Amino acid sequence: MTSTDSAVVEARGITKRFGPTVALDNAGLTIRAGETHALVGRNGAGKSTLVSILTGLQRPDQGEVLFAGRPAPALADRDAWRARVACVYQRSTIIPALTVAENLFINRQTEGRLINWRALRTRAQGVLDQYGVDIDAGSQAGDLSVEQRQLVEIARALSFGARFIILDEPTAQLDGPAISRLFERMRALREQGVTMMFISHHLEEVYEVCQTVTVFRDAKHVITSPVRDLPHDALVAAMTGEAAVAFEARARKVDAKAPVVLAVSGLGLAGRFQDVDLQVRGGEIVGLAGSGSSGKVGLAESLVGLRRPDTGTISVNGTVPRPGDVPSTLKAGLGFVPQDRHHEGFVPLLSIGENATMPIAHKLGRFGTISSSRRRSRAEGMIQQLDIKTTGPDQPVGDLSGGNAQKVVLARALSDDPSALVVINPTAGVDIKAKRALLGSVEDAAARGAGAVLVSDELDDLRICDRVLVMFHGRVTKELPRGWTDSELVAAMEGID
């Protein structure tokens, strides 16, 4: 890599270790002015670590960062960093208890001494309007949807005037239309000459918005190339180090006489969904598709007891768990992967072993004790099965890369051999190879006789389903058997047909 005049940022020979883990090994990249540069790699390849080094949150053990050919500012000089690079991190940096306005101007609420709240709100509304974000600056950040929070983060990032923005997996939590809106925004920014670094596990997105792509594998830089010179299969091969194999959903037949493991009738929740009837047989995978406002996530959350429906009944395995009660739903034999893994998914300070075996703790020992050797061996099995990149079962989940943390959540859902499984966006932020492993383990569970409901914003995930129910404005409007085409499904999701 040679530095050129037009390099906005250059990272050279960066090495970063976390204890025994080498997150970056003599890796680097150069991003030229005006381009949108993709950084791809498997979970744990070191992408987010590079982001924290490029934004001055962490110091590399070795190597240097240059902005426009000049050495990066001192770590303590946050203002200087923020004038050079803005970032939307993989983990949200919105503070839910504060207003949107204060989040936008956090730690710079005022130039002078006293904060003038009214002026702050006006300024914040100005920033939101300027970047076309339709949110009231006075609302509480905790009340925003994931997309809205992200827009606030983007508006905040831009408001510092940096001409270089890093987006770490911005699309992982968004649905189709929201992603299109984000891309429109990114294109408009590029036209204004803003340089971007974009991280995603959705390779088609790389082809859609990026001009250059850099691949990291096992903490090392593998290749940097113009996007058009690196076709999909070559890109996958660079990421995984092996030739790409196309993903095939397994052929399966649902036994029409298999018992119904999850039955729902007349389910409704005011403002979210109404009149939902659903029956899932053992061995069957049912997909739930729909746009962000379709109510599919609300429905799935009601199935697992995270929300209490207003009307209707849910029965799991023939028993009716207490509505809105997660423990009794789990006890009835249901496993689930929640949408917001940072909130409901795992306990960051506990180890992988503890997190993954939480629902089966009672099976690992007697009289309320937990045998740690049994837990270890169970956890090791899960780590292998789901290909979790870690130093071992004792590593706290909070230290894992984003995608690997997601795998722990699925491991937990599967730990109790549930007879019914509800998974919400299980592959958000998961790399292409791991995605197959994750979907594969849902298929395995079905093969063992479990019935599964799979909620996803990704059409590819839904291919493993025996049938897909499409929701629109809170109602199930269409049922598509296996073999649907993308355009058919998208049309149904958008309510045009």
Partner 1 sequence: MSDARTLKRPGAGLRLGRFRDLTLVPVIIVLLVAGSFVDPVFLTPGNLTNVLQQQSALALVVLAEALILIAGKFDLSLESTVGMAPAVAVMFVIPVSAGGFGLEIPAALAIPLCLLIGAAIGAFNGFLILRFQLSAFVVTLAMLIVVHGLQLGLTGGKSLFALPESFLYLGGAVWLGLPAAIWITGLLFAAGIAALGYFRAGRSLYAIGGNADAAKAAGIRVDRVLWVVFIVGGTLAALAGVLETGRLGGISANQGVGWIFMVFAAAVIGGVSMDGGKGTILGALTGVLVIGLVENILTLKGVPGEWKQLVYGAIILVALMISRLAGGRAQD
Distance (Å, rounded) from C-alpha 390 to C-alpha 152?
Answer: 33
Choose, by CB under 8 A, the member of 282, 283, 295, 429 that binds partner 1. Answer: 295
| Residue 135 contacts residue 100 (beta carbons within 8 Å) | yes
Distance (Å, rounded) from C-alpha 185 to C-alpha 132?
Answer: 9
Query: Which partner in Mg ion, ligand ATP, partner 1, none is near 195 (CB below 5 to 8 A by kind)?
Result: none
Least Å from the CB of residue 212 to ligand ATP: 18
CA R_g for the chain = 23
Nearest partner of 168 among 137, 199, 127, judged by Cα: 199
Nearer to Mg ion, 357 or 401 (CB): 401
Choose, by CB under 8 A, the member of 59, 108, 308, 448 that binds partner 1. Answer: 108
Query: Which partner in ligand ATP, Mg ion, partner 1, none is near 27 (CB below 5 to 8 A by kind)?
Result: none
User: Which run of H or of E encompasses 288?
Assistant: strand 285-289
3-state secondary structure of 352: helix
Q: Does 110 bind partner 1 (CB under 8 A)?
A: yes
Nearer to ligand ATP, 410 or 450 (CB): 410
Q: Does 98 bind partner 1 (CB under 8 A)?
A: yes
List contacts with ligand ATP (CB under 6 A): 18, 21, 23, 41, 43-49, 90, 389, 399-404, 431
Nearer to Mg ion, 128 or 219 (CB): 219
Least Å from the CB of residue 242 to partner 1: 33
* Token pair recorded at residue 59: 């110091």
Nearer to ligand ATP, 49 or 224 (CB): 49
Residue with the two structure tokens 């890369």: 401
Least Å from the CB of residue 27 to partner 1: 22
The dihedral sign for the CA sequence 71, 76, 79, 82: positive
According to DSSP, the residues that pair with 441 across neighbouring strands are none
Nearer to partner 1, 2 or 107 (CB): 107
First to last CA, the chain: 52
User: Which run of H or of E encompasses 411?
Assistant: helix 402-414
- How long a stretch of residues is the chain? 497
The region of 11-19, 239-247, 290-298, 489-497 touching partner 1 under the rule CB under 8 A is 290-298
* Token pair recorded at residue 103: 């989040």
CA dihedral 414, 415, 417, 420 (to 10 degrees): -40
Distance (Å, rounded) from C-alpha 457 to C-alpha 308?
Answer: 23
Distance (Å, rounded) from C-alpha 159 to C-alpha 54?
Answer: 19
Nearest partner of 335 among 410, 261, 246, judged by Cα: 410
Q: Does 90 bind partner 1 (CB under 8 A)?
A: no
**105 φ, ψ to 5°?**
-115, 35
Query: Which partner in ligand ATP, partner 1, Mg ion, none is near 295 (CB below 5 to 8 A by kind)?
Result: partner 1
Q: Does 174 bind partner 1 (CB under 8 A)?
A: yes
Choose, by CB under 8 A, the member of 91, 308, 322, 448 that binds partner 1. Answer: 91
Q: Does 109 bind partner 1 (CB under 8 A)?
A: yes
| Residue 408 contacts residue 402 (beta carbons within 8 Å) | no
Residue numbers 57-76 binding partner 1 by CB under 8 A: 57, 76
Contact flags string 317-346 toward partner 1, x per CB under 8 A? ----------------------x-------
Strands laid side by side in the 311-316 sheet: 273-281, 260-269, 311-316
Distance (Å, rounded) from C-alpha 198 to C-alpha 186?
Answer: 10
Distance (Å, rounded) from C-alpha 467 to C-alpha 469?
Answer: 7
Least Å from the CB of residue 391 to ligand ATP: 8
Query: Which partner in ligand ATP, partner 1, Mg ion, none is near 44 (CB below 5 to 8 A by kind)?
Result: ligand ATP
Contact residues for 338 (Cβ-Cβ < 8 A; gap 6+): 301, 304, 306, 344, 345, 409, 424
477 Ramachandran zone, left/alpha/beta (phi>0; psi -120 to 50): alpha
Residue numbers 425-484 binding partner 1 by CB under 8 A: 457
Nearer to partner 1, 34 or 324 (CB): 324
Other beta carbons within 10 angstroms of residue 214's beta carbon come to 24
Residue numbers 361-400 binding partner 1 by CB under 8 A: none
Nearer to ligand ATP, 353 or 403 (CB): 403
Nearer to partner 1, 134 or 248 (CB): 134
Nearer to Mg ion, 291 or 401 (CB): 401
Q: Does 162 bind partner 1 (CB under 8 A)?
A: no
Query: Which partner in ligand ATP, Mg ion, partner 1, none is near 18 (CB below 5 to 8 A by kind)?
Result: ligand ATP
Least Å from the CB of residue 162 to ligand ATP: 21
Least Å from the CB of residue 196 to partner 1: 18
Q: Does 82 bind partner 1 (CB under 8 A)?
A: yes
What sections of 416-485 are H helices per DSSP? Answer: 432-447, 459-462
List contacts with Mg ion (CB under 5 A): 47-48, 90, 401-402
Choose, by CB under 8 A, the member of 14, 144, 227, 303 that binds partner 1. Answer: 144
State the DSSP code for 474.
T
Chain residues that interact with partner 1, rule: CB under 8 A:
55, 57, 76, 78-79, 82, 87, 89, 91-99, 102, 106-110, 113-115, 117, 121, 135-136, 138-140, 143-147, 173-175, 178, 271-272, 292-298, 339, 457
